[in-house]
Structure 1
């Protein structure tokens, strides 16, 4: 009896004693807590990696499609290589070189070309993936890696609903266009390589050629695009009989305009009043659509016609003097207003121009980013090409 009475109190005390419970619970819950922590960290890493990879494929598809549409790559194979390079380049900041190589091998690029009678477009699809390493916490649960995959699609090319257009170039050929640019040129003379600087007028000729090339690419059959050129110094140029000699009349395509620009030579002062008036009169439409440009386009079946003027200068309005003339500057502004009121879209290009020239062209440009400012020949060429692409509605649309 004594032995039994002794054991009962001991058992009761042992069962009621809660010391050490926390340690036992911690031992039981530790793997669960560590797994939850690992899952949270890995989920965050997966979301970040997914976003980074998606941005890389978006950029790659966009770059490849745009390069095809603009002719920056020769063919679909080159576009596919460009897309893969883009993905790897974008991910280089986030993954190791070995992972970058694996991403390149896992990247698939599909290019589809669609051609109609008036346009050509390129659809580019980029799909890629890579294996993301997980934290040691997840390794305890038997998971060491997870696959991250993304896909992006882009369509680029000339718009299927592209309008026809009439474009008049109003180009400065004043004396200052004979000055040097900061672009170096090399040529050979008597077997010796010589160095000189490209003069402004030659830079303008190259820029105009890039614009004409882009227009021809958009309209290879010459059924949508009409161009003309008006060059000026102190107004229009005339011969001894007072006949205007500084105009290449509007015509289909760019051949006549291209040929005329190659003949330009710098001389005289600067006043764009008269040429802007002529450009407006030449391409504006009248209420009955009986103007010359409307009739010409109607014969080709073009019902919608956009009208553009490109006004370019490297100076300020001086007339026949060497100093800025406020009245002539205001006169050009008035002509720009008149052209815009007539429904003409004005692109303006300031090429190494002084501040007053830039101010004038900023005022004259139609709203929507149609003012361009170039301080180098390379920028001038790029700006003229951009104008052509804008006018022909070249567009790139991301379609994830």
Structure 2
């Protein structure tokens, strides 16, 4: 049996306000091409089909089109919900979809009841474990303590109970979790509960293949325990990650092999750093001019209209940042009595930036303080106006 392992589509997500739906649609086209070219029997999606519990209508339309196209392909489809998905919304119509060969599992009540498929070697039981909220399951499942490891351990107890009742059945598990040994990126939502989020790799011992979701980078924790990661980069921390899917093959005994298949890269991500002048003239950056760019400027003081200047060369610069400021070793002490607000502000600028404010900045600060300073004459006028309003227009 050939299984294509993918996860974390996050349909509807944007990238620093850039719409990704077209790029996600291109991945779906790629997915269908792989199914046909590689003679895939089953596509498994390990959670986070959508980016939010209330997905945009365009994201829902793309998911509908995707599942319809997969249902018409040679492959069966098994999907579990992730922490970004609404279990109720993603699972709507799941009993009807079963008949089309698209098996969507989003309820904790389904844990332990697999999708059973056949190949020439016999049965394969695919247990799609949805994202499990330990708080919601603490009492119903008698977890003992509130953690993801406790919830998944109980889920795997139910899975193993089912497998023990079967003979000569190979096993596949889908799980959406943070498994120890893998490295997260910046774009995953924290799923920790009381600081307890990691799950031990031993939780999945004895399973022929475990298709993990949640982390956006591919990881191989063991031959039979892998993350596919997301098909697109969703933060600049993923700029160096290779995106794609695992093509997994099961033989008569269980796991046989896994081969990586690259996903298309619609637009590359680049992180560049240096002074503004260097970035605008460095010839080695010519091949990055059409990338989505995160630029870190090292100039001190910070240059004016930096983003405007960067975008003349790198029109798709999305993030502009600066290194942490060099601050005084000695923080400013309590100001002496009579020190003006303007002087305190200038001292603060020098402390956090490491250099004095420019004359223009100093003048701007002075104008700001002058604009909001105490004006006794204005107070008298405002007070008189309020007094006349409160007594119905009669003079005191």
TM (normalized to structure 1)? 0.27
* Structure having the higher Rg: 1
Of structures 1 and 2, the one with the larger relative CO (CA 8 A, separation 6+) is 1
TM (normalized to structure 2)? 0.28
Query: More helix per residue: 1 or 2?
Result: 1
